[in-house]
DNA sequence: TCAGGGCCTTCAACCTAACTTAATGCTTGA
DNA sequence: TCAAGCATTAAGTTAGGTTGAAGGCCCTGA
């Protein structure tokens, strides 16, 4: 016997459209766009204003940082290529000064190196040009949702983490899927807990090495793959088609925030 | 919201099935379900009645609180979205008035914010829709087990601790297994008492050093292993296959919470 | 009061089991 | 097409179990 939740008209499920945001009951979301290209800038600005966001823009990195610190936007959309101070530097500085502020980075198409650097610098997510505005909006919502529920990853609270059928009990170091208990090794457990505490957030391999394997570990980062492999074998119903621990091609892994 | 009837016959095991619970020797467990959806409510009610539980239901928050205070159920299953008084308010009120009563919260799919709030409000665990009834049963058992054995670790009350054949009398510093009395050294006793006060909870070595050895002890933590070794020799029927004091690889030790 | 002995605790060493890392070649997806 | 990811296996490393001995404390008896 399974209880499902279909055909449930939850207003939240309309996410991703401009109209939905416009009727949102909550106070307008403040959006700061740091982008030097006028076309992109005004397109974003127009779309999101109409969608009920309050949009501020900045044309270069220095101005962006200023604006972010003065206006405390709810989310920053940050281009990587900027005059005066490039996106990575901006990201780094904002992370230092306002660690909580969610940052969504715009990167040139296929610029994997930059994506990785961006994520390592502390961006919360990235989106590659070209992108649709609806896509951007979806990402922004996702980042905002995560920020609201942010569990600082090392807080390691004793409260159980539940994601669908998956349940992690940090105090007992127990993991169950549905009613089945799963035995994990320490590394597997640490990885899964980190992932599941921050669904949707992308963890680059380098970052994982630092976080789970202590600092400046100059190792083979394929090692992570091995652990992910074994973790999936234990945790996924069908390891060939993972539903929880997902690969982000060229970057690393993340926990699904679907469902 | 619909109820489907799939994959009920799970070949994995017979544990947790209605039949197994029905023959449980202990007095019926009282379950209060606060849920406005008739389908879910009757599905839960039917399943758990058949499993030998005594089930009471309430259709809204206010009625739920009343029922909880009048009937003193062993565990409350509480939906978050309720008419009259929402789940969070119910949870908060129950926590104030009967702090011991275990609460398991049902949350809508994806409603992470609510999960967190729920736990902050004092729910003991939560489960996301959709869920299987077997899964719910597993959670309920887990919450009940924790509630039964919950001892704040520093309470160090003088009441004897009984776990199966093991009995610890803190006032007399006596330990018996079955009818056999066991002589423990102070460290052995302290360890065993700490473990047995919180079955299932994992105690890292560092934590034990702080707790049992006081001060920030910069020592050899293999010392703990020695004590565990001797403790097991005295306390376990077969020290090669410990049933009480269990190793958690890479972390420390815990007391078994089976049975 | 001091020596002797017993018990508890700590430490060290060795051994095994468990887990992690590395390397390989194959598969996959941009 | 080809770099990135995956699966498999083998080697390496680390953590835990076990044992025994040294040090310290306390009790006891001379």
Q: Residue A179: is its pLDDT beyond 70?
A: yes
Q: What is the mean pLDDT of residues B149-167?
A: 74
Residue A156's SS3 state is coil
Out of A89-103, B106-120, B126-140, B145-159, pick the least confident: B106-120
Cα B50–Cα B56–Cα B61 angle in degrees, nearest 5: 140
Nearest 5°: CA angle at A146, between A131 and B102? 150
Q: How far is the CA of A164 from the C1' of D5 (A)?
A: 27
pLDDT at B242: 92
Crossing angle (nearest 10°) for helices B205-213 and B186-197: 120
Nearest nucleotide by C1' position to the A186 CA atom: C19
| Residue A124: per-residue pLDDT | 84
**Cβ separation B1–A7 shorter than 8 A:** yes
Put simply, the answer to whether B129 touches A3 (Cβ < 8 Å) is: yes
Judged by a CB distance cut-off of 8 A, whether residue A27 touches chain B is no
Number of helices (H), then strands (E), in chain B: 9, 14
pLDDT score of A194 more than 80: yes
Q: What does the alpha-carbon distance between residue B236 and residue B238 come to, in Å, rounded to a whole number?
A: 5
> Is the pLDDT confidence value at A127 over 50?
yes
Cβ contact (<8 Å) for B254 and A172?
A: yes
Residues of B in contact with A173 (CB under 8 A): 202, 248, 251
Q: Least CB-CB distance to B47: which of A1, A149, A180?
A: A1
Closest to B197 measured CA to CA, from B249, B154, B228: B154
Residue B249 CB lies within 7 Å of the nucleic strand C: yes
Question: Which residues does chain A have within 8 Å of residue B33's beta carbon, measured at their own beta carbons?
Answer: none
| Residue A213 scores a pLDDT above 90 | no
pLDDT exceeds 60 at position A222: yes
pLDDT of residue B239: 83
At A50, the pLDDT band (50, 70, 90 cuts) reads very high
What are the C-alpha distances in Å from A93 to residues A78, B86, B132, B225? 12, 42, 47, 46
Most confident of A4-8, A26-30, B77-81: B77-81
Distance A231 CA to C28 C1' (A): 20
**Of residues B112 and A56, which shows the higher confidence score?**
A56
Helix A222-235 and helix A186-197, axial crossing angle in degrees, nearest 10: 80
Residues contacting A15, CB < 8 A, separation 6+ = A138, A141
Q: How many percent of chain B have pLDDT more than 90?
A: 53
Q: What is the pLDDT of residues A110-121, one digit of tens each?
A: 666 666 666 776
Rounded Cα distance between A212 and A215, Å, is: 9
What is the DSSP secondary structure assignment for residue B161, as one 8-state letter? E
Q: What pTM value is reported for the model?
A: 0.80
Residue among A205, A66, A116, A110 nearest A76 (CA) = A66
């Amino acid at each position: 016997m399974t209880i499902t939740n279909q055909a449930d008209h939850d207003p939240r499920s309309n996410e991703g459209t401009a109209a939905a945001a416009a009727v949102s009951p909550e106070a307008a979301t403040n959006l700061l766009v740091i982008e030097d290209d006028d076309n992109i800038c005004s397109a974003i600005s127009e779309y999101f204003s109409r969608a009920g966001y309050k949009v501020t823009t900045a044309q270069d990195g220095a101005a962006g940082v200023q604006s972010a610190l003065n206006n405390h936007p709810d989310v920053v959309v940050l281009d990587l290529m900027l005059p005066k101070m490039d996106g990575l530097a901006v990201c780094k500085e904002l992370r230092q000064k306002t660690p909580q502020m969610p940052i969504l980075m715009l990167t040139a198409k296929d610029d994997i190196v930059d994506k990785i650097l961006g994520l390592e610098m502390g961006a919360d997510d990235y989106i590659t040009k070209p992108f649709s505005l609806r896509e951007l909006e979806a990402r922004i919502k996702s980042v905002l949702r995560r920020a609201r529920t942010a569990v600082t990853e090392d807080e390691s609270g004793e409260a159980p983490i539940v994601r669908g059928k998956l349940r992690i009990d940090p105090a007992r170091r127990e993991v169950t899927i549905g009613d089945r208990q799963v035995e994990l090794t320490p590394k597997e457990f640490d990885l899964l807990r980190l992932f599941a505490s921050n669904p949707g957030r992308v963890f680059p391999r380098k970052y994982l090495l630092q976080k789970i394997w202590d600092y400046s570990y100059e190792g083979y980062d394929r090692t992570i793959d091995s652990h992910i492999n074994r973790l999936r074998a234990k945790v996924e119903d069908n390891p060939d088609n993972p539903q929880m621990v997902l690969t982000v091609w060229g970057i690393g892994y993340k926990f699904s925030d679907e469902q």
